[in-house]
Structure 1
Amino acid sequence: MSKVIVVGLDGASLDLIRLWAEKGKLPTLAWLLQHGTSGPLRSTVHPYTAQAWTTMVTGVNAGRHRLFDFWERDLEIYGFRLTNASFRAAPALWTVLSERDRRVIVVNVPMTFPPEPVNGVLVAGRDTPGLHSSFTHPTGVREELERVLGCPYVIVPNDWRWMRLGRPGKAREELLNEVDIRFAAVRHLTRTRDWDFCMFVVSATDGAAHFFWHLHDPAFPGHDPVLAGQLGDVLLSVYQRTDECLGDLLEELGGDVSIVIVSDHGSGGRALRAIHLNRWLASHGWLHFEEDGGPEGRARHWVADGITRLKGVAYSLFPYQRLTWLRRMWPDRWRRWLSGYELFAGVDWSRTQAFSEERRGNIWINLQGRDPQGIVEPGIEYETLRSEIIAALESMAAPETGAPVVHKVWRREELFDGPFLDCIPDLLVEVESPSQFSIHRGDHSGPAIRLLTEQEINALTITGDHRMDGTLILHGPGIRSGVTITRVDMRDVLPTVLYMMGEPVPVYAEGRVVEEAFLAEWFAAHPLTYGGVGAQMRDQEGYAYSEKEHRWIEERLAGLGYMD
């Protein structure tokens, strides 16, 4: 069967693609929609980069591939550690193909650092700690690309840095430049290598939505009509540049290549109601702070609260560039000590049954035998507590309207299974729009549910957020034309791509081949097979970032809104 190229557009929304395609603004994608099969691609819970892309390329859930997020619980302490590709326990699509002697090109897919040996080329993605690192296989590919490009290679755009410095025009330049460099790199590699499979990811479609949604959407409360007149087209411009580059690439590749367009999630406006989960848990007696635990507890709480307030003052008084410089000057032991105090500031573990890191809608049970100071017994007590928390969450209402705030609370085993279940929170909370979870940790006072103030809205750097439905567009031999499909899951991508390449689907894959995208006569003439090479589990090296790399990754994640 034909070669397959998978084009990842991080955060790309199918509703935006269809809207702009119908208006003639995205001619390449419009042609693919007209002559191919398309539909929403359901993301993971939660719909964030690390888990979604990894689920897509492995065909299994996070309980089996392990990468639930950019970080995972360190079960020896009440803390977290950054993850990367070395933590991934299931083989990726390119690993399976390499083992079958198929030639691959992989560029900028998230969670691919450190680069693994493949039968071809791999250029790692956003978990790469910097251009100084060895992020390509084979070595020397970076230097080759920079000679061809005539400029430094771009792992991810520095849009987040320019936005924090108050220079959105420079952020726009960074986003468009990333699109150009990504496609130029892929064009060079596909010209100079023999290949059967190529996959690459454009990050700018996600960054443009995160940082410019308030200028794209006139209904957003922080919309500035004057600034929108200058920069309101950034999101569209990034999609248009991507569409133009995609058209050039496909023309060069010719018509014998099957095309798969995917995104890990969709995008929309940021929610303007905050839910502070630890405050909420404390209000129900499931979490206790040391401030009510005697003089020693009050002293520890005073220190933790002071750190949080001092950080808030620093952000309001000093420019981002100066704060970044100061943070880099801190000894690593200071940074870790301060981060630990912030993350679970003043929590009294001896009385706490449940807690949240408040980065997502995650709740952890303080479980005996798993957590350092666990007090909840496994079994009946654990299950009873989870049921009580679920019932309380499902009755949570917005104070100003009385409307439900929570869409669904999942027990982790309802969504995940496998050997890495303890890397996943005990409860996962999906909220109704327009709510979100606060990432401003450490301040225990105030309401558990609140609307952002006008001042907070106007000060937002990140105004776009993720949505559950990503994008799937298929085109190639046997694919139906102009058809819309539904009920496609992230795990379905790996089996479908392997089928398009005439390869057996691994028996461990949880997803399915999206049969409804193919002509019936084609599917009958090309029967689906299972088996083939590809182990279900792979050895994990557990690459540990250096102190400098750790700070660099944390800084980037903070800039993108994943952490404070």
Structure 2
Amino acid sequence: MSTTASSARRVVVIGLDGATFDLIQPWVAQGHLPTLARLLRTSAWAPLESVLHPFTAQAWTSMVTGANQGKHRIFDFWERDFSTYGFRLTNASFRALPALWTLLSQAGRRVIVLNVPMTYPPEKVNGVLVSGWDTPGMGAAFTYPLALKAELPALSGGQPYVIVPDDWKYSTAQRGDMVMAELLREIDVRFTVVTNLMAREPWDLTFFVVSALDGAAHFLWKYHDPSHPLYDPAVNAQMFTEDPLLQVYQRADQRLGEFLATLPPDVHVLVVSDHGEGALEDVEIHLNLWLAQQGLLTLRTRGSHRSPGGTLKWLAAKLVDRGKHALYGRVSFSTLSRLRHLWPDKLRVTLGEESFFPGVDWAHTLAYSEEVRGNIWINLKGRDPQGVVTPGAEYEALRSRIISELQDLRDPTTGQRLVHRVWRREERFSGPFSERLPDLLVEAAYPDLFRPRGAYTGREPVRHLTVEEMSRRRITGCHRANGIFFAHGPAVQPDLPLAPASILDVAPTVLYLLGEPAPGWMDGRVLTEMLTPAALAAQPVETRPQAPPPVNPADGAGGAVQGYDEAEAQEVTDRLAGLGYL
């Protein structure tokens, strides 16, 4: 290890994307995960409550800024384009607040940042940065400094560098063995590179993310869970000698243990995840069908394409709409996206609208959802292109009606309530970008209950899928709200289970451990309950009063937002579709 910064406090944050105590604790009890078992004995630890909704882009961004989405702007992998009913992809340039490593770089501290989602394009730091999930392929300039990119194969021990595992490319081919091979390779490469970088670079903060555990849950759950409808012992036996999901966790546990052994005892270590995981079950909620059932959304009928502008919508609908003769069920979202550059601009705009909101008659629609999330938008005058709801009393009355009626949505088979709560956006978010967020957010047992209608031609808003329908899904596991948090080091009490912490608490806690004050705009807090009395007495918690940096709503933290070109957008879109997000 470099000793350049040995006199200063140092922190390592290890992100295990999607890691969950629901799997870790039983496997620890069975003796399968010795490193994580040791951390349970020697650390303060807690469930880590994620954001609403608990997906990668907004969760990691909230963690590294310590602020809610209304302040930092990243609400998902995409955001609304209010000039249409479409969306555009986001990346790190959309982030409106500085991340941990930005603040530390400004304070003269050295950082190593590796593979954290939503860090492309890479920003200039006092140290090195390799961008993560939103990187549009290996051809992009995804490192700072740029020369670091050419060094990554050597730093990887001769293996090709991995930004995102290619697990999703094998999921529809039913090649669970190839999925697992890709995930194991990513774990090995990530730990090898970070270990080699830390050996040669001075650092005060090292922050890196391993994404394999998330991919493992998405694609290997059906091979892991005997209660899953797609679990098939005969198929499993052909590919695996033991539970493949456990094997991925074991490899991560092994490499984590080897990595921790390289750290001196005065370094503080946090092991975190952005959300948990669980089974993707057979229930689906189609919010637009529910809204239509309530008379709040109108779908176009046959012949409506004869209206002005309707022919273009009819053509786009034929490409993506939900009918037995439509291309939607036979041509993938990513293929449709790839074809867009061949079409006139007006059709491309219309296709973007139809991709998320197929067949909607906007002039007779009060509320709508993109359905891939539990979000509801009010068709608002002055904001939406064909808005019909007046801001003020009419808007509030409509939101109240939807909240009241949707919270009673039930499983048609069991009668169980499916919705925990419907939130007004201002109940969860604050800040200059809150008005860019959905008007209502629907919180259910897990976010992937909300699914697009796909090839479904029925009108029931809640339904149970057949085994055949489930087999056509790309994923069999999905996100849950609670991730993991471990803290270990000289200022931390060992063997201390804590009450659930917020994902927003990570950034101010890291700054405290580094001896730096947290800016006043952070929404999280220092987790003082994990600290020793001696540490708190020696260093009382300090918050520096500080307003967020002024940000133009059209700009991100580094100035004007930097979108993707056609090829880059396609790379990211394919990845989103492959992982089941589109």
Are the structure 2 counterparts of residues 327 and 357 from structure 1 closer, same or farther at C-alpha, using a change threshold of 3 Å? closer
1:65 pairs with one of 65, 72, 78: 72
CA distance in 1, matches of 2:569, 2:155: 30
Deviation at 1:448, TM superposition (A): 1.1
Aligned AA for 1:541? A
1:508 aligns with 2:527: no
**Residue 133 of structure 2 aligns with which residue?**
126
1:289 pairs with one of 284, 299, 304: 299
1:344 pairs with one of 341, 357, 368: 357
**Residue 416 of structure 1 aligns with which residue?**
429
Contact kept in structure 2, 1:113 and 1:125, CA below 8 Å: yes
Deviation at 1:273, TM superposition (A): 0.7
Worse overlay, 527-536 or 347-356: 527-536
1:94 pairs with one of 92, 101, 114: 101
Aligned AA for 1:420? F
CA distance in 2, matches of 1:206, 1:435: 14
1:353 pairs with one of 346, 349, 366: 366
CA distance in 2, matches of 1:93, 1:561: 30
Aligned AA for 2:202? D
1:225-268 deviation per Cα after TM superposition (whole angstroms, max 9, x unaligned)? 12233335221111111111111111112222111000000000
**Residue 318 of structure 2 aligns with which residue?**
306
Aligned AA for 2:59? A
What 5-or-longer segments of structure 1 have no aligned partner?
Answer: none
1:381 aligns with 2:394: yes
Q: Which structure 2 residues correspond to residues 344-493 of structure 1 after superposition, within 5 A?
A: 344-432=357-445, 436-441=449-454, 445-493=458-506
Deviation at 1:152, TM superposition (A): 2.2
Are the structure 2 counterparts of residues 151 and 313 from structure 1 closer, same or farther at C-alpha, using a change threshold of 3 Å? farther
Deviation at 1:48, TM superposition (A): 0.5
CA distance in 1, matches of 2:325, 2:26: 40
Q: Per the alignment, in what secondary structure is the counterpart of residue 6 of structure 1? A: strand
Aligned AA for 2:99? A
Are the structure 2 counterparts of residues 54 and 215 from structure 1 closer, same or farther at C-alpha, using a change threshold of 3 Å? same
Are the structure 2 counterparts of residues 523 and 74 from structure 1 closer, same or farther at C-alpha, using a change threshold of 3 Å? same
1:437-481 deviation per Cα after TM superposition (whole angstroms, max 9, x unaligned)? 112358664311110112112333300010000000000012111
**Residue 121 of structure 2 aligns with which residue?**
114
Deviation at 1:294, TM superposition (A): 4.9
Deviation at 1:434, TM superposition (A): 10
Are the structure 2 counterparts of residues 97 and 433 from structure 1 closer, same or farther at C-alpha, using a change threshold of 3 Å? closer
1:135 pairs with one of 135, 142, 165: 142
CA distance in 1, matches of 2:336, 2:85: 26
Aligned AA for 1:202? V
1:162 aligns with 2:162: no
CA distance in 1, matches of 2:351, 2:477: 29
1:144 pairs with one of 133, 146, 151: 151
Deviation at 1:315, TM superposition (A): 8.3
2:34 pairs with one of 10, 18, 27: 27
CA distance in 1, matches of 2:548, 2:13: 23
Are the structure 2 counterparts of residues 440 and 141 from structure 1 closer, same or farther at C-alpha, using a change threshold of 3 Å? farther
**Residue 243 of structure 2 aligns with which residue?**
233
Are the structure 2 counterparts of residues 330 and 409 from structure 1 closer, same or farther at C-alpha, using a change threshold of 3 Å? closer
CA distance in 2, matches of 1:533, 1:394: 39
CA distance in 1, matches of 2:87, 2:52: 19
Instruction: State the TM-score, normalizing by the size of structure 1.
Output: 0.94
1:199 pairs with one of 203, 207, 232: 207
1:202-240 deviation per Cα after TM superposition (whole angstroms, max 9, x unaligned)? 010000000011111111111111223333522111111
Aligned AA for 2:437? I
Q: Per the alignment, in what secondary structure is the counterpart of residue 291 of structure 1? A: coil
Q: Per the alignment, in what secondary structure is the counterpart of residue 109 of structure 1? A: coil
Aligned AA for 1:331? H
Deviation at 1:52, TM superposition (A): 0.6
Deviation at 1:555, TM superposition (A): 0.4
Q: Which structure 2 residues correspond to residues 175-254 of structure 1 after superposition, within 5 A?
A: 175-229=183-237, 230-231=239-240, 233-254=243-264
Contact kept in structure 2, 1:109 and 1:124, CA below 8 Å: yes
**Residue 272 of structure 1 aligns with which residue?**
282
Aligned AA for 2:168? W
Deviation at 1:554, TM superposition (A): 0.4
Q: Percent identity?
A: 48
Contact kept in structure 1, 2:446 and 2:480, CA below 8 Å: no
Worse overlay, 333-342 or 459-468: 333-342
Instruction: State the TM-score, normalizing by the size of structure 2.
Output: 0.91
Contact kept in structure 2, 1:142 and 1:153, CA below 8 Å: no
Q: Per the alignment, in what secondary structure is the counterpart of residue 526 of structure 2? A: coil
Are the structure 2 counterparts of residues 224 and 65 from structure 1 closer, same or farther at C-alpha, using a change threshold of 3 Å? same
Q: Per the alignment, in what secondary structure is the counterpart of residue 419 of structure 1? A: coil
**Residue 257 of structure 1 aligns with which residue?**
267
**Residue 3 of structure 2 aligns with which residue?**
none
Q: Per the alignment, in what secondary structure is the counterpart of residue 331 of structure 1? A: helix
Worse overlay, 5-14 or 433-442: 433-442
Contact kept in structure 2, 1:272 and 1:434, CA below 8 Å: no
1:3 aligns with 2:10: yes
Q: Which structure 2 residues correspond to residues 315-326 of structure 1 after superposition, within 5 A?
A: none
Contact kept in structure 1, 2:341 and 2:566, CA below 8 Å: no
**Residue 539 of structure 2 aligns with which residue?**
526
1:494-551 deviation per Cα after TM superposition (whole angstroms, max 9, x unaligned)? 0101111111111111111011111223212221112288954534321010000011
Q: Per the alignment, in what secondary structure is the counterpart of residue 132 of structure 1? A: coil
**Residue 571 of structure 2 aligns with which residue?**
552
1:327-376 deviation per Cα after TM superposition (whole angstroms, max 9, x unaligned)? 64653546654343232222111111100111100000011111111111
Contact kept in structure 1, 2:328 and 2:454, CA below 8 Å: no
CA distance in 2, matches of 1:444, 1:376: 28
Are the structure 2 counterparts of residues 459 and 344 from structure 1 closer, same or farther at C-alpha, using a change threshold of 3 Å? closer
Contact kept in structure 2, 1:279 and 1:445, CA below 8 Å: no
Deviation at 1:303, TM superposition (A): 4.5
**Residue 553 of structure 2 aligns with which residue?**
none
1:126-179 deviation per Cα after TM superposition (whole angstroms, max 9, x unaligned)? 100011110000011121111232132110000000112332211111000000
Q: Per the alignment, in what secondary structure is the counterpart of residue 31 of structure 2? A: coil
CA distance in 1, matches of 2:120, 2:447: 35
